[in-house]
Structures are given as C-alpha cells and as structure tokens.
Structure 1
Amino acid sequence: MRKHTLVLSGLLLISSLSPFASYANQPISDPYALGSSPQWLTTKVYIEGAPEQDVKASYPGVVGISMWDPQRNRYEFFYTDTGQSKYADGGGGYFLVSGDRKTHVLIPDKGPNRTIVRRLEKLDNREFTYSREVPRDMVATNPLVRIYVVHAPYNGPIKTAMSN
C-alpha cells in the first residue's frame, strides 16, 4: 500500500508541475489572426541571416495575395497583378496550425505537392510571417536555404473570392 501511495504522490507532483513548465515556451501565434484580414499580401521575402535584403524577385512562387478562412481551415492564393486564383496549380486547399502553434501545414486540393510544412515565425493581426526550406532561387539543383515570407493585411484595389 505504501508503494502505491508513493507512486500516486509522485504522479500528482509531476502533473502539478507540468503546467508551470508549459508557460516557459508560450506560443506567439494566434491561428485566428489569419481571419483578421480578408486578404494578406506578401510584402517581403528574405533568406535566413539576411533580413535586410528583399529577394521576392527570386521566389515568385511564394509571392501573392492570400485568403485564409480559419473557420473552415481553407486557404487560397492569388496573383498580385491580376487577382487570378492559383487554385488549379495547388494554390488552395486545407491548412492547419499545430497544437504548439509553431507549424503551419498546407494540404493543397490539387497540384504537384501534397503537403507543405512551414514554420510559423509571427502571426498577429498586423503580420503573418512563415519560414521554410526551399532550393536557392527555387532551382531544384541548388542547395536548400531557409526563406522567410512576410505578409501584411492587403487593402489594395484587387478583390478576391475563394473558389471553395
């Protein structure tokens, strides 16, 4: 009986301390902040270690206007010049934010990629920044680099609507 009491006391002590440990690494991202703007515009792309250099021109595939519906976990991407949807080429589908709010996963409905995993860097109602590893300049034979893609709420003339 004494052994069971000791084990039970140990478990209670561990469980009472674990909530305190979780406060040390609080997530900074609010997945519902994606819904705080109807549209988000890519404002900057930079390579890890060089935040002062905008390299959007080298990574056009990650540049655009995006829409997020946190209620349905749906997303869709659009071209910045025409507002045309990128849905047919994998630019739309489902998304999820991991429980620790550090990972943002895209699951396109169509296109060559089935899952895209991105690290959430910042997400609030003024900025959405993620990072991911891609080949330098998006050339398949180049070495991988970590790019950071920064978005801000878009209030320009192009209006978009989700396909699904």
Structure 2
Amino acid sequence: MHKKTMTFRCLLLAALLCPLASVAQQAPATADIRDLASSPRWLTTKVYIEGAPQTDVKANYPGVVGISTWDPERNRYEFFYTDTGKSKYDNGGGGYFFITGDHKTHVLVPDVGPTKTMVRRLETLNQCEFTYSREVPRDMVENNPLVRIHVVHAPYTGTVETLSALKPGTPATP
C-alpha cells in the first residue's frame, strides 16, 4: 500500500513540475524508453553543473556515479559501484522507474533504503547517451546552495561484472 501511495505522490509531483520545466531544454519528442534497453549496462561518464558543461565534477558527486542497468519491459533499475560491481540496492539503488508520456521526466521509486522517490529531468535519451539532470546541494553537502547537475551516461563496455542484489521474488534486471 505504501508503494502505491508513494507512486501516486510521485505522479502528482511530476505532473506539477512538467509545466514549470517547459522553459528548460527538454528531451526530443522522439526519445523512447526502449533506448535504455539498447545497452544492458550504462556507465556515468560525466557530471557537470548547468552552465558549465566543459567542467567534469564527477569527483564531487560520487553518489550519482556508477554502472546502472535498466529493464524497460519491467520498469526495473539497479545501480552498481564502478570499481567492484557491487550493488547499491540496499541504499535505494534498485527499484522501479518510469518516464512520463511527454518524455521530459524520469522518475525512480526505490524498493528499499533511505532514498525516497526521485524526480529527474530527462535531457537526452538515445542508443548512445542517457543524460538526466536534477537539483542537489552543491557538492552534495547539506545546507549548500542548490545547483542543477547533469549526469551523462554511455553504454558500458568494460570488464567489471555487476552482481544483482535484487531480493528473491523481485523481477531481475538484465
């Protein structure tokens, strides 16, 4: 019941935020959720603050950096550490996701962990790149002013094996 309440609240929040984001750069109408399935795993390649795309600040935002899997058929995601391939599932790094019908908002609903539903602006989604943005405290330090970070991903072709931590009975990601 709690998941349904959270999902409803998330949908309501996404509907309220969409008109406010209309002046921002948006993903093209041709973006397709199935493009997430074009690669079994995606790697964070760059993080930058809005207005400064030439400066990579990944080191300041380690919480958003990693390898991720997306299963659009079941709307499931899971995040992994880039060095070990260990799952971030127990800290909110796995659950359900959806992209709104206007292709402008990407919403995550974690299964477990301290993180609640997260609404992100979809910037780019195609077979070569997946980029979202969201507002966070600068350098992810509480009480710092908010900045909009852009998190860029590319299909992952490295050798790190990712080991899913999805609980038994939970649909697995690829």
- Equivalent position of 2:151 in the other structure: 149
Say which of 103, 108, 111 aligns to 1:109: 111
| Cα distance in 2, alignment partners of residues 153 and 77 from structure 1 | 14
Partner residue, 2:126 = 124
Secondary structure of the residue aligned to 2:152 is strand
2:34 is equivalent to residue 44 of structure 1:
no
Q: Deviations over 1:127-149 (max 9, x none)?
A: 00000000000001101000000
Query: By how many angstroms is 1:161 displaced?
Result: 4.3
Q: What amino acid is aligned across from residue 75 of structure 2 in structure 1?
A: N
* TM-score, normalised with respect to structure 1: 0.83
2:28–2:124 Cα contact (<8 Å) kept: no
Match of 1:84 among 86, 91, 95: 86
Aligned match of 2:137: 135
SS in 1 for 2:34: helix
The one-letter code sitting in structure 2 at the alignment partner of 1:148 is: H
Aligned residue in 2 for 1:14: none
Give the alignment partner of residue 55 of structure 1, picking from 54, 57, 74.
57
1:106, 1:116 within 8 Å by CA — same for their partners in 2? yes
Task: State the 1:158 CA deviation.
Answer: 1.0
Instruction: Give, in angstroms, the shift of residue 26 of structure 1.
Output: 5.5
The whole-number CA distance in structure 1 between the counterparts of 2:28 and 2:139 is 34
TM-score using structure 2 length: 0.78
CA radius of gyration, larger in: 1
Distance 1:46 1:124, change over 3 A: same
Give the secondary-structure state (helix, strand or coil) at the position aligned to 2:134. Answer: strand
* CA displacement 1:4-26 (0-9 Å, x = unmatched): xxxxxxxxxxxxxxxxxxxxx96
Q: Write the distance in 1 (CA, Å) between the matches of 2:42 and 2:28.
A: 25
Percent identical: 70
Give the aligned residue type for 2:36: L
* Partner in structure 2 of residue 15 of structure 1: none
Q: Structure 2 unaligned runs (5+)?
A: 1-26, 167-171
Give deviations 1:80-126, integer Å, cap 9, x for gaps.
00000000110000000001010000000011122000000000000
Deviating 4+ runs (over 3 angstroms): none
Aligned position for 2:19: none
Report the aligned-residue RMSD. 1.3
Preserved CA contact (<8 Å) 2:46 2:153: yes
Q: Which moved more, 1:111-120 or 1:148-157?
A: 111-120
Unmatched 5+ stretches in structure 1: 1-24
